[in-house]
Amino acid sequence: MLTVHHLGISQSERAVWLCEELGLDYEMIRYERRTDNRLAPDEYKALHPMGIAPVITDGDLVLGESGAICDYINAKYGAGRLAPGVDDPDFAEHLFWFHWSNGTFMATLMMQLVLTMSGSAQGASSGFVGDRSDKAWAMIEARLGEAQFFGGRNLTTADIMMVYCLTTSRAFRGTKLEGFPNISAYLKRIGARPAYQRAMAKAEPGMTPMTE
């Protein structure tokens, strides 16, 4: 059976949401973070050589990496329906946001987090990293002013990838959404989706989804 190994407050919520959007029969195992350093417990680290979330198992398969997991689940269990085909006018935009999410945006957010944690809050908000972050948020706000979803007309795995960056990951950084009306409106639409509500209730029981 397809099993999502979900580490609390982590990117693995993406896999839970994707399974709910596709209406799949799957198992979710939730792992609590350690209390001393807020990192993954040893049993989670043992699942995959990288020792980080997300991880899924499917029979003998052990697969990590959010994008790979989304592609795998959507292709194998969703008949590809949450990704536009090559002849769809939204194909290229979907590809861009799907890959940009972790390839550029999350990488920038992580650089800011590391700088802040190391005592360089100024470096996180200015210079190369700050400029890169400002451009990223401006791009996102502009995109959501021209399209209902990152992938275009319909929700796609690009949204599955992007929403975590705009919601739960803010728990580590305290980023506010003031000044981003398009992002705020988009997250309200996402938060109203029954599949998202089911996913967050399973993945983060007791936590109010950060869609505001």
Right CATH number for 91-193 from 3.40.190.10, 3.40.50.300, 1.10.10.10, 1.20.1050.10? 1.20.1050.10
Cis peptide before 194 (omega within 30 of 0): no
Range in 39-48, 95-104, 112-121, 174-183 with the lowest mean pLDDT: 112-121
Helices 194-203 and 181-191, packing angle to 10 deg: 80
| Average of per-residue pLDDT across 118-140 | 78
pLDDT at 113: 75
**Number of helices and strands in the chain (H, E):** 10, 4
Share of the chain above pLDDT 90, in %: 82
Intervals of CATH 3.40.30.10 along the chain: 2-82+197-203
Q: How far apart are CA 179 and CA 26, in angstroms?
A: 39
Confidence of residue 123 (pLDDT cuts 50, 70, 90): low
Confidence of residue 121 (pLDDT cuts 50, 70, 90): low
Confidence of residue 120 (pLDDT cuts 50, 70, 90): low
Torsion of CA 120, 126, 128, 129, to 10 degrees: 60
pLDDT at 124: 55
Q: How far apart are CA 106 and CA 161, in angstroms?
A: 10
Helices (H), 63-180: 66-77, 91-100, 107-117, 121-125, 127-146, 157-166
pLDDT at 155: 98
pLDDT at 111: 83
Confidence of residue 125 (pLDDT cuts 50, 70, 90): low
Distance of CA 19 to the CA centre of its chain: 13
The pLDDT mean for the chain works out to 93
For CA atoms 80, 84, 85, 91, give the dihedral sign.
negative
54-111 tens-digit pLDDT: 999 999 999 999 999 999 999 999 999 999 999 999 999 999 999 999 999 999 988 8
Q: How far apart are CA 18 and CA 133, in angstroms?
A: 27
Q: What is the CA radius of gyration of the chain?
A: 17
| Domain covering 2-82+197-203: architecture | 3-Layer(aba) Sandwich (3.40)
